[in-house]
Amino acid sequence: GAVVSQHPSWVICKSGTSVKIECRSLDFQATTMFWYRQFPKQSLMLMATSNEGSKATYEQGVEKDKFLINHASLTLSTLTVTSAHPEDSSFYICSARDLETQYFGPGTRLLVL
């Protein structure tokens, strides 16, 4: 089946630093990938849609200068949280679309101190 990986699975950083999260589709090529944020005991909130070779489309209220998304290849998308602050602490999940189905990565837990 379609497998999506994320790295790192856990990251702790100091306030003001930047953190990069990688999302890879391991056994298929994904023209489109998605980035979600999930707060405790809540559903997933779509942050942005990432299309290979073009600029990401951000959802309303998501700061594109703070959450930089790059989708340089058909198997890799990255999310960089710039100048992270404690309120950015969350669970970030990526997904990659294979035909009509989205497959999800295992998530990255970010804690900003």
Are 23 and 96 contacting, i.e. CB atoms less than 8 angstroms apart? yes
Question: Does residue 103 bind another protein (CB under 8 A)?
Answer: yes
Kindly give the pairing relationship between strand 19-25 and strand 32-38. Answer: unpaired
Q: How far apart are CA 43 and CA 52, in angstroms?
A: 26
> Between 43 and 54, whose beta carbon lies closer to another protein?
43
Question: Does residue 76 bind another protein (CB under 8 A)?
Answer: no
Give me 84's structure tokens: 């992270």
Question: Does residue 106 bind another protein (CB under 8 A)?
Answer: yes
Place of tokens 């790192």: 8
Question: Does residue 44 bind another protein (CB under 8 A)?
Answer: yes
Q: How far apart are CA 113 and CA 9, in angstroms?
A: 17
> Between 82 and 102, whose beta carbon lies closer to another protein?
102
Among 53, 61, 65, 99, binds another protein (CB under 8 A): 99
Q: Which residues bind another protein (CB under 8 A)?
A: 4, 6, 34, 42-44, 46, 49, 91, 93, 95, 97, 99-107, 109
